[in-house]
Amino acid sequence: MSETRIRSEVEGDVAILTLDRPEKLNALDQAMIAGIESWVDAVEASRARAAIITGAGEKAFSAGGDIAAWADLDPIGFARHWIRTGHRVFDRLARLRQPLVAVLNGHAFGGGLELAATADFLILETHGRIGLPETGIAMAPGWSGTQRLVRRFGAAVVRRMALAGDMIGAEEALRLGLVHQVVPKGEGLAAGRALAARIAARGPAAVQITKQLINAAEGEERDAALESLAGGLVATTADLAEGVASFREKRAPRFEDK
């Protein structure tokens, strides 16, 4: 994925994605967003039990959407190809069946914070800050900064970041529950690997089902989660096996009384 400025690797049971554009503070463009979606496809189809997303360099996890990637789009193109595409990809990332750890190796601003908020766990290095600076350039958060972030962080702190432009440092972010762990500079990925290994050592089916239930309680994917869990339960039954067999054999099914 080098042409998309995305690096991916697998370490045992853990899939790792790195935003690899440090000279631009890992700002996101269309190719990187497409690369993230391709990575989601690959991880969903893999045997990975946990996943990590992080950034290259020492300054930023991601400074957000690259202004050069969207500034010249007309309003329809901006809404259709930038906002909607980003939403689709970030929604898929939030609903990844494997637990996701975001390792913030530096600042996470705007779309970078919206990306980080798709994760189940956030680890922030001490020098990093988080914020939603969009209104400062007359833009509104576009990738669920006013929706998923409110559900996960709470409306009060999102108002501070999105309306007043507050940038929140690591210790305050930990105190407010915006991140789950703060570690010294340069130690984020090691902490992320340790957490992912702990997750991967637990029962994989139970972990993935529990993640779906938590997402449903949070309003992330209630309808899909209910139908997915119901389908998984039905798939274990003798009734389904008989139904499929009768279809293949072109006969009426013979379901047994329970």
Do 108 and 130 contact (CB within 8 A), yes or no?
Answer: yes
The Cα–Cα gap between 248 and 111 comes to 49
Q: How far apart are CA 198 and CA 80, in angstroms?
A: 40
- φ, ψ dihedrals at 11, nearest 5°: -120, 100
Tell me the two tokens of residue 14: 């853990």
Catalytic residues: 114, 134
Would you state the structure tokens that stand for residue 33, as one six-digit string?
């967003």
Q: Measure CA 98 to chain center.
A: 10
In the chain, DSSP finds a helix count (H) and a strand count (E) of 12, 10
The residue ranges of DSSP E strands in 95-241, in sequence order, are 100-104, 107-109, 121-125, 129-131, 168-169, 181-183
* Number of residues assigned to the chain: 258
Closest CA to 200 of 42, 9, 11, 37: 11
Helix (H, G, I), strand (E, B) or coil at 58: coil
113-143 CB burial, b ≥16 within 10 A, e <16:
bbbbbbbbbbbbbeebbbbbbbeeeebebbb
**8 Å CB contact between 96 and 40:** yes
